Amino acid sequence: MTSIEELKLRVRELENELIKCKQKRCTAMCAEETADNNQPHHRPRIDKMSAEVVDSNPYSRLMALKRMGIVEDYEVRYNRIHSALLPYHLFAQLILFDYDKVELANMNRLFFQPHQAGLSKVEAAEHTLRNINPDVQFETHNYNITTMEHFAHFMDRISYGALQEGKAVDLILSCVDNFEARMAINAACNELGQIWMESGVSENAVSGHIQLIIPGETACFACAPPLVVAANIDEKTLKREGVCAASLPTTMGVVAGILVQNVLKYLLKFGTVSHYLGYNAMQDFFPTMAMKANPTCDDRYCRKQQDDYKKEAERPKKVVEEVVEEEVVHEENDWGIELVSEQTEEELHAASGPVPDLPEGITVAYTIPEKETGVSGGETVEETEQSLEELMAQMRKM
């Protein structure tokens, strides 16, 4: 006889399937209100990004990046991503891989909800994210990528999973919690030449890191592996009985924010993309560095990618001529009009104060001039013991 727990799980699965069907119907009918009063009113999908600054436009704040000169062609890149921070702004397509199920212990991650306990994490994530942004296309796979039967399919989705048929995905984000899965992703990306970003939080939950891995150019995960990986130690033997890894949603939120910020800079091509950026919550320390690929890496595909990168670097690069804009010269100036500063160099220097010693990369917006000391040279009034009424009487007689 089927247990009560299995029946409850099946009910949850059917409820989520019903939600998904309602969302699809809602999108097709331009956000028609769902029959269930407990379900929110969903907006329709947006096919064309608009820069109109109105409360009903979910992308108006993102388009401001273009107006401010941060991103150049936002509309062109819209075909590839819808951009910005998860979960409120998402990529045009997300392919999710995970074999685990939602447990009540996952509720401190501020993403899953109690009624989703028992569902696969990819299914629960899809339902939550679809509610937030219906413009995103989702593809979920509830399996373990480290097994032989699933690893081949995982590589196939990397190679041909893009929105444009037959194209590879733009980027892979690794958010796993074990070395075995990291090594599987690393092996697949090295073989395919796929760029990916690795991230993680320490077991004590007070530090984390992100890392951009470009096969052949930067160090892969196997180039400088942890001792556990290098010594071929089974991770399961390291777990102590009765002790589980700590989990702080604040640390995870910081690391996740840094990861997605790095993703945006890479995809939207602005700012400096970090090769490695760490986070130490105990000391508020953010170390950053770049690691080159190891020529003696154990992964043969990594060594092959290094050879290909060297050959590509030796090829002569095409010189792109920069177009220099001609300065506007006014040949006629009958009235002798000139633009000059309202303040002289001496006045600017007098209005400035000393510049403090600051760490590299930090500058002051302005300085405060030092206060003048001593007595001014103006006329002063001698002190007197007369009252205010007596002084006013003297003024009237004058």
Residues labelled as active-site residues? 244
Please state, in angstroms and rounded to a whole number, the distance separating the CA atoms of residues 252 and 279: 10
Q: Cβ(220)–Cβ(297) under 8 Å?
A: yes
Residue 170 per-residue DSSP state: S
Q: What is the DSSP string of 34-76?
A: PSSTTS--PPPP-SS------TT-TTHHHHHHHHTTS-S-HHH
Q: Cβ(127)–Cβ(19) under 8 Å?
A: yes
Q: In sequence order, what are the residues at sequence separation of 6 or more whose Cβ sits closer than 8 angstroms to the Cβ of residue 145?
A: 97, 99, 151, 154, 181, 184, 185
How far is the CA of 56 from the CAs of 47, 88, 90, 108, 340, in angstroms?
Answer: 15, 15, 17, 31, 46
Q: In sequence order, what are the residues at sequence separation of 6 or more whose Cβ sits closer than 8 angstroms to the Cβ of residue 284?
A: none
Q: Which of 80, 53, 87 is nearest to 67 (CA)?
A: 53
Helix (H) or strand (E) run with residue 139 in it: strand 137-141
What b-and-e string marks burial along 283-321, b requiring 16 or more CB atoms within 10 Å of the CB? eeeeeeeeeebbeebebebbbebbeebeeeeeeeeeeee
Q: Cβ(128)–Cβ(113) under 8 Å?
A: yes
Q: Which of 301, 322, 9 is nearest to 155 (CA)?
A: 301
What b-and-e string marks burial along 233-261, b requiring 16 or more CB atoms within 10 Å of the CB? eeeeeeeeeeeeeeeeeebbebbbebbbb
